[in-house]
A = this chain, B = another copy of it.
Amino acid sequence: MANTRRILHLVVRFVAFAATFCAAIIMAASHERGSISTMSFEAKYTVFPFFEYFLVVNSVATVYGFLVLFIPTESLLWQPVVAVDLVLTMALISSFSAAYAIGMVGMKGNSYWKPICGSIPKYCDKVTGAFVADLIAVVIYIILLLNSIHTALNPLLLKKKLSNFSG
């Protein structure tokens, strides 16, 4: 039972790692040349500071997600991992939200800014793919965090630990 949980934990973490890896690669590699009126331009992550932020955070998450897979099961390193998970999840949520807000203006525009996805449809599709991959990673990290908190604070489990300890 404990072994199944551990394998499931690793599989879930591997999916999160793969998702951030895909999000980073797609964001880094996507570019398209388009034109609005007579102005020609290159759409790329470097044009939007918040897309750069998205790429940086996902790259860091990819490296961290990869390294965590090699922490031995009984290692004490799993304790700081919860805190690092928390900070990383916040960075992922922050970068996703900021990039998504910019992406939505690009797609739908608003009273002040016109949408630009009509001129760069492929780029917008790819960025949407990066967002979806990132969202999968965010959801996984939130579940891992809630699970950690539940495990750490569950009074029943704590009592079990205590009885194991005193018995």
Residue from B36, B98, B149 in contact with A100 in the complex, judged by beta carbons closer than 8 Å: B98
Complex: A49 Cα to B82 Cα, angstroms: 33
How many angstroms between the C-alpha atoms of A50 and B100 in the bound complex?
10
Question: Complex: how many Å from CA A41 to CA B96?
Answer: 30
CB distance from A94 to the nearest CB of B (A): 4
Considering only residues 84-99 of chain A, those with a C-beta below 8 Å from chain B are 86, 89-90, 93-99
Partner of A110, one of B47, B83, B111: B47
Bound together, the chains give a CA A144 to CA B76 distance in angstroms of 23
A41 and B94 in contact, given A83-B149, A162-B162 (Cβ under 8 angstroms) = no
CB-contact partner of A93 in B47, B97, B112, under 8 A = B97
Residue of B49, B95, B96, B116 touching A112 (CB-CB under 8 A):
B116
Most buried by B among A41, A47, A113, A150: A113
Residues in A lying within 8 Å of B, measured CB to CB: 36, 41, 47-50, 76, 79, 82-83, 86, 89-90, 93-102, 104-106, 110-114, 116, 142, 145-146, 149-150, 152-153, 155, 161-162, 165-166
